[in-house]
Structure 1
Amino acid sequence: MPLPKPLIALGLIAGMATAQTLYADATIRSEHAQKTLEIYRTIVEVDTSKRMGNTPRVANYLAGELLAAGFPAEDVEVPMTGEFASLIVRYRGDGSTDAKPILFLGHMDVVEALAKDWERPPFELTRDEVNFYARGTIDNKFGVSQLTSTFIRLKKEGFVPNRDLYLVFSGDEESGMTTTRMLAYERPDLAEAEYALNSDAGGGVLDTNGNPIAYRIQAAEKTYATWEITVRNSGGHSSRPREDNAIYDLADALKAIQAYRFPVQWSEMTLEYFQHTGEQLGGELGDAMITFAYDPGDKAAAARLAKEPSYIGTTRTTCVVTMLQAGHAENALPQSATATVNCRIFPGVGVAEVEETLRTVVGNDAVEFEMLADPTESPISELRSDVVAAVGKAVHSRYPDVKLIAYMESGGTDGMHFRNAGIPTWAVSGVFMNPDEMFAHGLNERVPIKAFYDGLDHWSVIIRELAGKQ
């Protein structure tokens, strides 16, 4: 007897739901998925922040997994730079072309996380119905685990590239970048690369409803520079307050920096980025993006974008106070007070110019400025069609209609040094998520579980397109 149409419809819906569930279950249970999750969990649960000395532990673990997958010992290396480890793995090509190697970048270290401040243990991979949680889940152990498991998968499948491929994982990207500098400037084998693809930035942008807005290819990044600013004083007994107080004077300087806005700046790349993102995003914020794209001198649009942590860095240089140290005893007037001010400088603006601006804004010659480390300014890597096509194939397998757009990273990555070494570098993470839900470097860092599993094929598609038999 024929079923009534409503029941047929319900049956079809139920069948579709069952098929989707089976597909999802099959994806999660695949050997590649299980290995990726195993690697992800293992490395996330090792605290690799700079003071822990644990990057050798992670590097040697990953090296062991790659050796077990069939990579020869002479092609797996764990070099040390001081107390930090790097990982270099060569995937030998068959020599069928004269194409130069491709580097695949990531970093094994993380920013510190104070367990007492987190809702969940920062160095234990936990989950709810939506997200994985832990320090490093997105920055950058997501990329490290996905790249490592992809190399393992391809090796086990018998894939032989037509050129050499290298995994290149640094150990202190979040602090001194000593390992990054070594890898970029001191390794002749890596210097031969045609270009590098970085797992530490880029990726897909979702709106609050989970709809794709764009896929971003990071082609440039801002200069990273940090100053310590200090006020000194002869101090004294706390029972005899004086008008000049190192902490108060420093506080005045910091409030002046907080209130200052660097001038709005733009490039053709950032304007195109805002135009497309605004068209897809819609609403008040989307309208502000479109207005800015057509008229970056529009003060109202620039002010609206400045309210958004995810987008303010694309419109100007930013400086923010990140650390404080002051005083020496509870019953003594402070003899010194120091703050760390971290700046992300728009390409084309000199570091000395930013320091001079900060000195002018503070307006107190007694405030000392000391630059920490040497800032690195890096060029833009112009997009190339074969890389965009390969990334597009991976992206469009998930979101067929999403547009790929180049953008400038507000933060800093290992890519800055490889670009300076003459190696064009693009960041093309496999993640799709809402940037406001990322919390990299912050509390309760997370990655959508769906994004984790949906990205499993991302790197294998790209590698097969760029280094497979034609």
Structure 2
Amino acid sequence: MKPLATAAATALALFVSHGATAQTQAPRPDQLAFRDLYRELVETDTSVSTGSCTAAAEKLAARLKAAGYTDDQLTLFKADGFPLDGGLVAQLPGTSPKAKPMLLLGHLDVVNARREDWQRDPYKFIEEDGYFYGRGTSDMKAMVATWVDTLIRFKQQGYKPKRTIKLALTCGEESGARMNGAQWLAENRPELIAAEFALNEGGGGRTDGHGKVVTQAMQVGEKSNRSFEVETTNPGGHSSIPIDDNAIYELADAIEKLRAYTFPVRFNDTTRAFFAKAGAERNDETGRAMAALAANPADRAAEAIVSADRTFNSMLRTTCVATMLEAGHAVNALPQRAKATVNCRIVPGEDGDTTRAALIAAIGDAKTKVTMVGRLRPVAVPPPLDPKIMGPAEKLVARYFPGVSLIPTMSPGATDATYLAPIGIPTYGVPGSWGDPDGNGAHGLNERREVRSVYVGRDFLFDLVKAYASGS
């Protein structure tokens, strides 16, 4: 007889593969308990502007303690001077002194959300039309809730892992405006998170836009994140005597040139494998173009087709986009200064200096100043494509998603994995749950996550963590 979790997972796999709607199967009691944890986490505002990661960490610590974790297995932490940016490290001790620990990583903070911009209250957990809505439902409170829930379920079942399972929940991944908890742990308490490898966000599945899961990916590498200020200046003057030499107009011209500029295609081992394998599995024009481009990066026709997909385009090349504007000093004065913030996501093999040089060349105006600004994360180091990591995940993908392969991929975004590589922890973005082609509103309006994705992803990750924790 199959264990309950495995039997339920198999049933849900069939439920997903046949494209049933979320309403055709009522949640199990254990899923309802998980839903309440997820709800509490989403409804705890952890944005940098109005929220508190410390409050969320304390609530999750209380749940773990209620499940049986002892004080010496729970570490609440926060850096001096940052009372709202606290985090939590928890651990379930392993039975083998030879098996090195594994780490589950997650960030508690979310991108700021303004109620007047949303159709629903961003800090209310709402289930509607087969989706969970709320800031963080997708990025990344579903996974954080799953990590905590997994440790609770292990304790409830009396499971004794071979290797110690550590959980680090941190603040500051999204903005870093005050501090970054993963960086703080790596620099100040590395012994708390020391592990052979870590599991993180960045992987996962993707649907065809109609509910069918068509890919599952393991993140093996990611882009680096750098921001630049593009600035124009002018002596200004009275607005009643306008001149063509206007700082705002000059900035607008520069931004228009950046909008028109496209960085060249740059493959690495992970992205080339992704496009070749994912393309071969798709029976459509985009799939054929993906495979053709992986074979020949100079194929401009294939590049145009693949680049039309916003996610695929971001995997092909470095991308830069204007995200903030600031200009002028008075309504009745010509502007003396205009400034735009341009955020770039840089592929491995390039860096901030090469990207800045490309922006300067694209603008082509010596009077326009381009300066690198903001926090400088370490340059992302891709982890090895380790069979001990890929193997268990491939088996579970085959069980949960028949006919769907696990494909290594590079995340177009940057995660806290960049802070773990320097202390010797290779970090992988895990498969399991899935998103829609439109991005599910992550970092945008009306963020959401499909109900089936959350519940199936929860069971998948439970099984995946157990597979790794039971290994050598």
The CA RMSD measured in Å over matched residues stands at 2.1
Q: Any residues of structure 2 matched to 1:98-137 within 5 Å, and which?
A: 98-137=98-137
Residue aligning to 1:29: 28
Q: Any residues of structure 2 matched to 1:16-415 within 5 Å, and which?
A: 24-25=25-26, 28-31=27-30, 33-81=31-79, 82=82, 83-94=84-95, 96-176=96-176, 178-190=180-192, 192-198=194-200, 200-372=201-373, 373-415=375-417
Secondary structure, counterpart of 1:397 in structure 2? helix
Q: Is the 8 A contact 1:124 1:134 kept in 2?
A: yes
Q: Is the 8 A contact 2:378 2:418 kept in 1?
A: yes
Provide, for residues 5-24 of structure 1, a one-character-per-residue CA deviation record: whole Å limited to 9, x for no partner. xxxxxxxxxxxx9x999993
Identical-pair percentage: 38
Secondary structure, counterpart of 2:441 in structure 1? coil
1:469, CA displacement in angstroms?
Answer: 7.6
Partner of residue 440 from structure 1, selected from 435, 439, 442: 442
Provide, for residues 37-83 of structure 1, a one-character-per-residue CA deviation record: whole Å limited to 9, x for no partner. 11111111122111224111111111111111111012211211324
Gaps of 5+ in 2: 1-17
CA distance, structure 1, for counterparts of residue 319 and residue 437 of structure 2: 18
CA distance, structure 2, for counterparts of residue 450 and residue 144 of structure 1: 17
Matched AA of 1:245: N
Q: Is the 8 A contact 1:143 1:429 kept in 2?
A: no
Residue aligning to 1:6: none
Q: Is the 8 A contact 1:191 1:421 kept in 2?
A: no
Provide, for residues 308-346 of structure 1, a one-character-per-residue CA deviation record: whole Å limited to 9, x for no partner. 211111111111101111112222221211111001111
Matched AA of 1:364: D
TM-score (norm 2): 0.90
Q: Is the 8 A contact 1:292 1:302 kept in 2?
A: yes
Secondary structure, counterpart of 2:458 in structure 1? coil
CA distance, structure 2, for counterparts of residue 352 and residue 148 of structure 1: 40
Residue aligning to 2:13: none
Matched AA of 1:399: F
Residue aligning to 2:6: none
1:259, CA displacement in angstroms?
Answer: 0.7
The 3 A distance-change label for structure 1 pair 452 and 286 is: same
Q: Is the 8 A contact 2:278 2:407 kept in 1?
A: no
CA distance, structure 2, for counterparts of residue 23 and residue 298 of structure 1: 45
Instruction: State which drifts further: 56-65 or 377-386.
Output: 377-386
TM-score (norm 1): 0.90
1:467, CA displacement in angstroms?
Answer: 1.7
Q: Is the 8 A contact 2:130 2:451 kept in 1?
A: yes
CA distance, structure 2, for counterparts of residue 86 and residue 355 of structure 1: 34
Q: Is the 8 A contact 1:390 1:461 kept in 2?
A: no
Residue aligning to 2:3: none
Secondary structure, counterpart of 2:116 in structure 1? helix
Q: Is the 8 A contact 2:237 2:334 kept in 1?
A: yes
Secondary structure, counterpart of 1:416 in structure 2? helix
Structure 1 residue runs of 4+, over 6 Å off?
A: 19-23
Residue aligning to 2:423: 421
CA distance, structure 2, for counterparts of residue 406 and residue 21 of structure 1: 28
Secondary structure, counterpart of 1:49 in structure 2? coil
Of the two, which has the highest radius of gyration?
1
Matched AA of 1:225: R
Provide, for residues 103-130 of structure 1, a one-character-per-residue CA deviation record: whole Å limited to 9, x for no partner. 0011101111222222222111112222
Q: Is the 8 A contact 1:36 1:145 kept in 2?
A: yes
CA distance, structure 1, for counterparts of residue 370 and residue 354 of structure 2: 13
CA distance, structure 2, for counterparts of residue 84 and residue 224 of structure 1: 21
Provide, for residues 132-185 of structure 1, a one-character-per-residue CA deviation record: whole Å limited to 9, x for no partner. 111111100011011111111111111121221111111010012621211233
Gaps of 5+ in 1: 1-16
Secondary structure, counterpart of 2:235 in structure 1? coil
Q: Is the 8 A contact 2:227 2:344 kept in 1?
A: yes
CA distance, structure 1, for counterparts of residue 35 and residue 440 of structure 2: 19
Q: Is the 8 A contact 2:276 2:291 kept in 1?
A: yes
Residue aligning to 2:7: none
The 3 A distance-change label for structure 1 pair 21 and 374 is: closer
The 3 A distance-change label for structure 1 pair 469 and 156 is: farther
Matched AA of 2:393: V
Matched AA of 1:108: L
